[in-house]
Amino acid sequence: MTQKSVPVAKAIADRIERLILDGGLAPDEKIPSERQLSLRMGVSRSIVREALHELHGRGVIETHHGRGSFVAHIVPEPGLESPLMRLFTGHPRTLYDLLEVREQLEGQAALLAAQRANARDLHRITKAYDAMQAADPLTNAGLDHAFHLAIVEASHNPVLVHVLDSLKSLMLMSVQASVANLSPREAFKKQIDKHHRKIYQAIMKGQPLAAQRAASAHVRHVCDSLREIEQSEHHIIRTGIATT
């Protein structure tokens, strides 16, 4: 690395970092190849290589031999043995605590997505929505979660993206609980489908407040419905969290 190339490589590293901050690249997403970045940024591949090395040193990207470089999890996800995960597996009420957090954060994510989503984001959201709608409603927790994740990434708020990414396993658990308890009950399922459709349409039409209201109402409905079932039947399925 020459002295002259150092500031150039640092400038390229800063540009790639801004791309991640702007939401152009999400956690776990593969960084474009050295050749693609070289053409895109108008510098040599050696400069790009130095820039990627700089980002690796900052902890912004992770490089896997033979696979390439990927956006790192800037806010680490708690491990299975972490105190937070133990709280969730050991205390039934924490499912509702998580849904309270989801109501606020996903409402804000939907609002921002309706304001900021670009053509690429809208394509991803549409693809996720269509896949979720086409799947078996009793086994589509992963696709349901992917739909909400696509909206979060379209918010182009890196703090929100990485905070929710750090709660990914817990978020999926709450979606699994929703699907396991509500999808088999036709009235609840119809309401969930209606909420998903409202969220999707509001974002597609660029209606921030409508998107926020629909997303918040959706999570609030899930929370209230689970409480209702638990109170009447003294039991709900806490898939991946705990059983009572």
Neighbours of 48 (CB within 10 A): 25
Q: Which residues of the chain have pLDDT under 50?
A: 1-4, 241-244
Characterize 79-118 residue by residue with b for buried, 16 or more Cβ atoms within 10 angstroms of its Cβ, and e for exposed.
Answer: eeeeeebeebeeeeebbeebbebbbebbbbbbbbbbebbe
pTM above 0.85, yes or no: no
d(CA 55, CA 13): 6
Q: Is 30 helix (H, G, I), strand (E, B) or coil?
A: strand
Summarize pLDDT for 62-71 with one digit per residue, the tens: 888 778 888 8
Q: How high is the pLDDT of residue 244?
A: 37
Helix (H) or strand (E) holding 237: strand 237-238
- Residue 229 CB burial class (10 angstroms; 0-12, 13-18, ≥19): middle
Residue at token pair 């939907």: 110
